[in-house]
Amino acid sequence: MIRFIIVHMEKRLYKWAFLEYKHIGELISRDLVLFTNLTKTMAKTLSPIGKTTTETIERLPLNRPCLLDPHAEKTLAPEESKQFSDFIFGGILGDYPPQKRTQELVTLLPHVPRRNLGKEQMSTDTAIFVTKKICDGIPLEKLVFHDEYTIPMGEGMEMNLPYRYLVDDGKIIFSDKLLAYLKKKKGF
Ligand SMILES: C[S@@+](CC[C@H](N)C(=O)[O-])C[C@H]1O[C@@H](n2cnc3c(N)ncnc32)[C@H](O)[C@@H]1O
């Protein structure tokens, strides 16, 4: 069975990150999702979305792991995805220009093979959904993407998210709850 392991790397569980994680729970079966590096309180909050542990990723027993890293040399392909079982992602909020924080995971897991999903920065929920599609047999080049998601904020204002999002069935895959939150908050 494959697992999608999210290594929470932010100091707090920001609302934005929480809503992205909630979106993961809407896209992927709870049994396949594991959040690590959590405090006890975070683990309690995230337990309805996926499995949780306060353990750090370096101490967690891993089964045929693969770290998803935008700076990896090789792109994840459907045929070789079968050789992996645990797909590991940084639970990191997007930033622009990218701070390359996934590198911290490379340092922690030096022997784990790495694969990219293209060079563009995706949100964690998007990266997980794209990995799932590749594991289901669809190569990256057959997937449709939308770069820079623009959210109209009213009064002629808009907010630009400079990340790559998946388009599925003609619809940009973006959390409804995050969209509502950002509109209400009127920005970052
Ligand atoms: C928002 S990204 C964090 C990017 C962060 N700003 C950085 O520079 O590392 C969150 C996670 O999604 C995954 N991810 C995002 N885009 C990716 C890509 N193009 N290829 C592989 N993994 C990606 C990585 O696991 C990454 O740690």
For the entire predicted model, the pTM comes to 0.96
User: CB of 71 within 8 A of CB of 102?
Assistant: yes
- CA–centroid distance, 127 to ligand 1, in Å, is 7
- CA–centroid distance, 21 to ligand 1, in Å, is 14
Average pLDDT score, the chain: 94
Helices (H), the chain: 15-27, 40-46, 78-81, 102-108, 124-135, 176-185
User: What is the DSSP track for 133-186?
Assistant: HHHTT--GGGSEEEEEEEEEEETTEEEEEEEEEEEETTEE---HHHHHHHHHHT
**Atom 8 of ligand 1 has which residue's CA nearest to it?**
100
On the CB side of 23, how many CA atoms lie within 13 Å of its CA? 21
Integer Cα distance of 56 and 92 in angstroms = 15
Pick the CATH number of 3-138 from 3.40.50.880, 1.10.357.140, 3.40.50.720, 3.40.1280.30: 3.40.1280.30
Torsion over CA: 77, 83, 85, 88 (sign): negative
pLDDT, tens digit, 9 for 90 and up, residues 45-93:
999 999 999 999 999 999 999 999 999 999 999 999 999 999 999 999 8
> What residue segments make up the domains of the chain, in order of their start?
3-138
- CA–centroid distance, 180 to ligand 1, in Å, is 23
Averaged pLDDT, 1-28: 96
- CA–centroid distance, 156 to ligand 1, in Å, is 31
The per-residue pLDDT for 145 is: 98
pLDDT band per the 50, 70, 90 thresholds, residue 95: confident
**Which residues have C-beta atoms less than 6 Å from ligand 1?**
68-70, 89-90, 92, 94-95, 98-102, 116-118, 120-124, 127
124, 135, 149, 161, best to mutate for ligand 1 pocket (most atoms within 8 Å of CB): 124
106, 116, 122, 129, best to mutate for ligand 1 pocket (most atoms within 8 Å of CB): 122
pLDDT, tens digit, 9 for 90 and up, residues 154-188:
878 889 999 999 999 999 999 999 999 998 886 55
- CA–centroid distance, 38 to ligand 1, in Å, is 19
